[in-house]
Amino acid sequence: MRKLSTLAIFLSVIIIGCQSPETTTETDVVVENPNAAIREQAQRMFGTLPAIADNPNNELTDAKIKLGHMLYFDKVLSKGQTQSCNTCHNLSTYGVDNLPTSPGDNGTLGTRNSPTVFNAGLHFKQFWDGREPDVEAQAGGPVLNPIEMGMPDEAQVVERLSKIDQYKTLFAEAFPGEEPAITYDNMKKAIGAFERKLITPSPFDQFLAGDDKAMSEQAIKGMDTFIKVGCTTCHMGNVLGGNMMQKFGLFADYWTLTNSKVIDNGLYELTKNESDKYIFKVPGLRNIEKTGPYFHDGSVAKLSDAVVIMAKTELNKDLTPEEVNDIVAFLNALTGEAPADLIKDPFVNAE
């Protein structure tokens, strides 16, 4: 009996072991994510958008950001008290005024388009000609520019701020231990600290983080086209630009395609070096859907037209209508949101 039982057990083990897996379990079908490859490529090219644009030389404290917020919206910084930073870089309209060029304190128009302040703290230089290294340095320029805010000199700016009790308190809190706390340099640091918080995460970032539904199929296709046609030669990194200077018109004169009324020599106006003619900072493309009109002179109203012009002038390529529409769909997915508490005018309904 024991021999028969042992034999029966042995045979049952063999039978069970020889059964096909398909007869005992359901087959697991692994479906490859069609977006995996393009996402991985995009992650390498664009990286990750940080929560703030940090600056080791300008610590971002709550007190400094609060002061910068006030200063950004305060018209006291302009000669006739008609202009604030927010006048040309309106935070309720994605950091721009949507004008080709902007009127200054006395109504005179500037010569270049006002770029968005959103995500500007992540750019490697400021202004279209890259004349300043960071947003702190940039913040002091328009205040003293005779066409923009028109204040005659730093001393008069400090004098005006020093007469306001609220600023006496806010500067002291933002720059503890400094005497005097109200200085032109500290004004720039405060505004710069505030601007470094104006970061706008978008559906594009959600897609890069793994959310396949964050962008439409057309936007994903447009991102692939954007990369393949060569736009990423200049528009790379976490703000899709803002990290190099480049000639506008590598293959064609830009003004023949933009119908620009005035030929702007770009960086040449500062250096007088012939090789710097028509060199401008490559703009970041975040929120580009909302920040027209486009280019340094605001000469092009439609984003689709700007895409066509860039492809021709910088890549010597004629895009098909389908390619243009797909790229525009991708660019629209770069529209994000800034922190709601920061874009509010602190002087509205203030007690």
CATH number at residue 128: 1.10.760.10
Whether 153 and 266 share a structural domain: no
pLDDT at 28: 57
Q: What is the pTM of this model?
A: 0.90
Q: Measuring CA to CA, how many Å separate 193 from each of 122, 166, 167, 181, 183?
A: 12, 19, 16, 16, 15
Specify if 151 maps to a domain: yes
Whether 180 and 213 share a structural domain: no
Whether 208 and 187 share a structural domain: no
Specify if 288 maps to a domain: yes
Whether 328 and 223 share a structural domain: yes
Specify if 15 maps to a domain: no
User: Residue 10 above 70 pLDDT?
Assistant: no
Whether 195 and 207 share a structural domain: no
Whether 237 and 306 share a structural domain: yes
Total number of domains in the chain: 2
Write down the mean pLDDT value for the chain.
Answer: 92
Residue-wise pLDDT for 82-99, tens only, equals 999 999 999 999 999 999
pLDDT at 27: 52
User: Residue 254 above 50 pLDDT?
Assistant: yes
User: Residue 159 above 60 pLDDT?
Assistant: yes
- Where a domain ends, among 199, 232, 262? 199
**Active-site residue (options: 136, 148, 195, 323):** 148
Whether 248 and 195 share a structural domain: no
Q: Taking Cα atoms as reference points, which of 28, 10, 70, 98 lies closest to residue 303?
A: 98
pLDDT at 34: 87
- Where a domain ends, among 199, 231, 259? 199
Whether 171 and 216 share a structural domain: no
Whether 205 and 223 share a structural domain: yes
User: Residue 251 above 50 pLDDT?
Assistant: yes
> What percent of the chain has pLDDT above 70?
91
> What percent of the chain has pLDDT above 90?
89
Whether 237 and 314 share a structural domain: yes
Specify if 343 maps to a domain: no
Specify if 248 maps to a domain: yes
Specify if 279 maps to a domain: yes
Whether 84 and 68 share a structural domain: yes
Domain around 229? 200-332
pLDDT at 23: 43
pLDDT at 19: 46
Residue-wise pLDDT for 160-184, tens only, equals 999 999 999 999 999 999 999 999 9
Residue-wise pLDDT for 13-62, tens only, equals 344 444 444 444 445 555 678 899 999 999 999 999 999 999 999 999 99
Whether 280 and 178 share a structural domain: no
| 148 carries an active-site annotation | yes
- Where a domain ends, among 181, 199, 217? 199
Provide the residue type at 78 as one letter. S
Specify if 3 maps to a domain: no
Specify if 17 maps to a domain: no
